[in-house]
């Protein structure tokens, strides 16, 4: 049925409909002071996601010739679960945008990119699809099991194609890579990890880097920190429908997402400033759960919304939130922002060299993929969100004697 709907809808255009992203208010905690700041804008635009795209809810993302709308072919169906899908096609090596690239969905040609390399498919039924990308002079690229869901807002794809080989990715394999957890240091390097974990007792809040070198597609790529975090968030948690199906409200899902975003930001800062599994490399984090899963093929508007709440301007400076160990009023220390999928009701464990990682009781909202049981339990965090905990309360439950600290981006 999905293939027939797609094939009927090629080149059907969609009328303009403007959506404005919500602005939220957040209490910033830093140095014992509370400052209320407005959030909801992107601190850092990219060529794929601009502030204009975000403000308009991605409704006018591509040129008209590169936009199709499936609404006409859906007139006989009472299905409101229809997703807005946008994206770009890029050269694997040069990052150049590829015009006239064909995007096929489950074997049916759906749309062709415009001269700017962008495309848009409106009102695609929510579901999991196989995507094939073709362009003159390139090998076909295949992206299997990538889903779209209207509950997540717009889904934004970045499809890479290569002129030397066929790119092939399976979202299910990526999402289940080592069970959704930050990986413990390798046995050979655990001594260095333990040494690096000794508390530093900094007397002031440190600045944090906005430039992130991440190893992806066998290359080191540099992205801004906000983009890195919303990409990780899109990769590390399930879509919104999964959690609402477990009884969470939309607001509760947002709190869960924001907690995971701060945890990912905290893990990242530890890798940048204290210890990385990739010492001696020109990058500190990779794209697998050796660090934390980073799959820029797909990001969601819901993940961008949550991340925008922890990147903001205050006092004329760009800021972001991380969790820091704070055993006294005058000291700050980085923590290993570990997280994992599920604890099966067994709770978390003490870590011998991380004072912020203490054993706490925990109950999962559903069966997950297990994990090392250090730090934030994702399935446990979902249940705590369902029970009314805020993002801050979730984080400070799993990370002992800590505070959420506002750090200046440099």
Q: pLDDT at position 395, please?
A: 98
Q: Is the pLDDT of residue 263 over 90?
A: yes
* Exposure class string for 3-26: b at 16+ Cβ within 10 A, else e: eebbeebeeeebeeeeeebeeeeb
Q: pLDDT at position 185, please?
A: 55
Cα separation values, 246 from 181, 242, 305, 359, Å: 21, 7, 21, 26
Q: pLDDT at position 109, please?
A: 97
Query: Average pLDDT in the 324-334 region?
Result: 89
Asked whether residue 47 is assigned to any structural domain, the reply reads no
Asked whether residue 135 is assigned to any structural domain, the reply reads yes
- When comparing pLDDT for 37 and 58, which is higher? 58
Cβ atoms of 150 and 81 closer than 8 Å: yes
Sign of CA dihedral 317, 322, 327, 333: negative
Q: pLDDT at position 289, please?
A: 80
Are 253 and 231 found together in one domain?
yes
Q: Is the pLDDT of residue 248 over 90?
A: yes
User: Around 158, how many Cα atoms within 13 Å sit in the side-chain half-sphere?
Assistant: 19
Among 47, 44, 39, which Cα is nearest to 211's? 44
Query: Average pLDDT in the 37-41 region?
Result: 56
Are 206 and 166 found together in one domain?
no
Asked whether residue 120 is assigned to any structural domain, the reply reads yes
Model confidence at 18, pLDDT cuts 50, 70, 90, reads very low
Cβ atoms of 275 and 284 closer than 8 Å: no
Q: Is the pLDDT of residue 14 over 70?
A: no
Distance CA 314, CA 308 (A): 14
Q: Is the pLDDT of residue 119 over 80?
A: yes
Model confidence at 74, pLDDT cuts 50, 70, 90, reads low
- Dump pLDDT digits (tens) for 207-236: 999 999 999 989 999 999 999 999 999 999
Are 228 and 310 found together in one domain?
yes
Model confidence at 331, pLDDT cuts 50, 70, 90, reads confident
Q: pLDDT at position 368, please?
A: 84
Are 131 and 221 found together in one domain?
no
Domain interval for residue 340: 176-408
Q: Is the pLDDT of residue 284 over 70?
A: yes
Cβ atoms of 111 and 120 closer than 8 Å: yes
pLDDT over 90 percentage in the chain = 74
Task: Provide the 3-class DSSP secondary structure of residue 110.
Answer: strand
Are 129 and 96 found together in one domain?
yes
Are 63 and 120 found together in one domain?
yes
Q: Which of 189-193, 271-275, 325-329, 380-384 shows the lowest mean pLDDT across its residues?
A: 189-193
Q: Look up the CATH number of the domain holding residue 134.
A: 2.60.40.1120
Are 326 and 184 found together in one domain?
yes
Distance CA 217, CA 232 (A): 15
Q: Among residues 170, 203, 226, which one ends one of the domains?
A: 170
Look at the chain and report how many structural domains it folds into: 2
Q: pLDDT at position 258, please?
A: 98
Q: pLDDT at position 277, please?
A: 84
Asked whether residue 25 is assigned to any structural domain, the reply reads no
- Dump pLDDT digits (tens) for 169-213: 999 988 876 445 565 555 334 445 445 554 467 889 999 999 999
Q: Is the pLDDT of residue 237 over 50?
A: yes
Model confidence at 281, pLDDT cuts 50, 70, 90, reads very high
Are 193 and 336 found together in one domain?
yes
At CB < 8 A and 24+ separation, what contacts does 30-34 make?
30/205, 30/405, 30/406, 31/205, 32/329
Are 205 and 274 found together in one domain?
yes
388 sits in the region (left: phi over 0; alpha: psi -120 to 50; else beta) called: left
Are 140 and 248 found together in one domain?
no
Distance CA 9, CA 4 (A): 9
Q: Is the pLDDT of residue 113 over 80?
A: yes
- Dump pLDDT digits (tens) for 394-409: 999 999 999 999 999 9
Query: Considering the chain, what is the average pLDDT of its residues?
Result: 86
Q: Is the pLDDT of residue 317 over 90?
A: yes
Q: Which residues does 256 contact at the CB level (< 8 Å), separation at least 6?
A: 237, 243, 248, 381, 382, 385, 391, 394
User: Around 167, how many Cα atoms within 13 Å sit in the side-chain half-sphere?
Assistant: 24
Asked whether residue 33 is assigned to any structural domain, the reply reads no
Cβ atoms of 170 and 147 closer than 8 Å: no
Are 371 and 275 found together in one domain?
yes
Asked whether residue 65 is assigned to any structural domain, the reply reads yes
- When comparing pLDDT for 80 and 329, which is higher? 329
Are 277 and 130 found together in one domain?
no
Q: Which of 11-15, 37-41, 143-147, 153-157 shows the lowest mean pLDDT across its residues?
A: 11-15
391 sits in the region (left: phi over 0; alpha: psi -120 to 50; else beta) called: alpha
Query: Average pLDDT in the 236-244 region?
Result: 96
Model confidence at 69, pLDDT cuts 50, 70, 90, reads very high
Strand segments (E) across 309-396: 311-314, 317-325, 333-334, 339-340, 376-377
pLDDT over 70 percentage in the chain = 82
Model confidence at 359, pLDDT cuts 50, 70, 90, reads very high
Cβ atoms of 233 and 261 closer than 8 Å: yes
Asked whether residue 34 is assigned to any structural domain, the reply reads no
Asked whether residue 326 is assigned to any structural domain, the reply reads yes
Q: Among residues 170, 198, 230, which one ends one of the domains?
A: 170
Q: Among residues 170, 204, 238, which one ends one of the domains?
A: 170
Query: Average pLDDT in the 296-317 region?
Result: 96
365: which 2 tokens? 């909202």
Model confidence at 36, pLDDT cuts 50, 70, 90, reads very low
Among 389, 343, 398, which Cα is nearest to 367's? 343
């Amino acid at each position: 049925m999905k293939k027939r709907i797609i094939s009927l809808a090629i080149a059907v255009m969609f009328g303009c409909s403007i959506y404005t992203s919500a602005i939220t208010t957040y209490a910033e905690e830093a140095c014992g002071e509370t400052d209320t700041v407005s959030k909801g804008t992107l601190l850092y635009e990219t060529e794929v996601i601009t502030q204009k795209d975000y403000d308009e809810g991605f409704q006018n993302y591509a040129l008209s010739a590169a936009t199709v709308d499936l609404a006409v072919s859906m007139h006989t169906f009472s299905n409101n679960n229809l997703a807005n899908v946008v994206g770009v096609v890029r050269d694997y090596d040069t990052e150049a945008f590829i015009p006239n690239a064909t995007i096929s969905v489950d074997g049916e040609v759906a749309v062709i990119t415009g001269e700017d390399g962008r495309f848009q498919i409106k009102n695609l039924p929510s579901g999991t699809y196989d995507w094939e990308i073709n362009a003159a002079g390139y090998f076909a690229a295949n992206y299997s099991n990538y889903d779209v869901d209207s509950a997540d807002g717009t889904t934004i794809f970045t499809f890479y194609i290569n002129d030397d080989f066929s790119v092939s990715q399976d979202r299910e394999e990526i999402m289940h890579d080592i069970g959704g957890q930050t990986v413990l240091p390798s046995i050979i390097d655990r001594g260095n990890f333990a040494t690096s974990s000794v508390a530093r007792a900094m007397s002031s809040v440190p600045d944090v880097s906005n430039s992130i070198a991440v190893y992806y597609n066998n290359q080191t790529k540099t992205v801004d920190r906000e983009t890195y975090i919303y990409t990780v968030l899109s990769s590390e948690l399930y879509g919104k429908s999964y959690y609402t199906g477990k009884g969470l409200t939309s607001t509760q899902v947002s709190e869960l997402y924001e907690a995971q975003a701060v945890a990912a930001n905290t893990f990242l800062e530890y890798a940048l400033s204290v210890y990385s599994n990739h010492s001696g490399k020109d990058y500190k984090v990779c794209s697998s759960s050796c660090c934390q899963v980073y799959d820029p093929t797909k990001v969601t508007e819901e993940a961008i919304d949550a991340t925008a709440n922890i990147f903001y301007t205050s006092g004329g400076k760009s800021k972001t939130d991380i969790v820091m160990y704070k055993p006294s009023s005058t000291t700050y220390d980085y923590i290993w922002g570990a997280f994992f999928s599920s604890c099966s009701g067994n709770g978390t464990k003490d870590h011998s060299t991380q004072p912020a990682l203490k054993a706490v009781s925990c109950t999962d909202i559903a069966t997950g993929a297990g994990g090392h049981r250090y730090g934030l339990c994702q399935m446990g965090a979902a249940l705590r969100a369902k029970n009314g905990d805020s993002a801050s309360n979730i984080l400070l439950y799993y990370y002992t004697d800590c505070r959420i600290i506002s750090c200046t981006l440099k």
